[in-house]
Amino acid sequence: MGSYDQFDYFTSLLYKDGYTFSNFEVKDGFDVNAGTTYNYNKNLSFSLKAENLLDKSIKSLYANRTNPVPSYFSLRDEERAFLLSMKWLF
């Protein structure tokens, strides 16, 4: 996180180590996020945020219990996303 003139910015890297559960392997995963805000004045700002930039998000393990013997699968926690916002204080 930091600031320069009228800009605020941040970056983050989240890493999750892989693991094995009931003979099912969940691979390592990481999220890279970044964002910036332009403060036009004290009452108006514009922000741009990018989530999961490298599209390698962390996965979570789920169980399918519709069968007598549960099966396991993993899904990504987060898709790649870009967010643009404006904040106006009045």
Q: How many domains does the chain have?
A: 1
- Domain holding 23, by residue range, is 2-88
Residues in contact with 7: Cβ distance below 8 Å, sequence separation at least 6, in sequence order: 36, 37, 38, 39
Mean pLDDT over 86-90 rounds to: 94
pTM above 0.85, yes or no: no
Residue 24 has pLDDT above 80, yes or no: no
Residue 58 has pLDDT above 80, yes or no: no
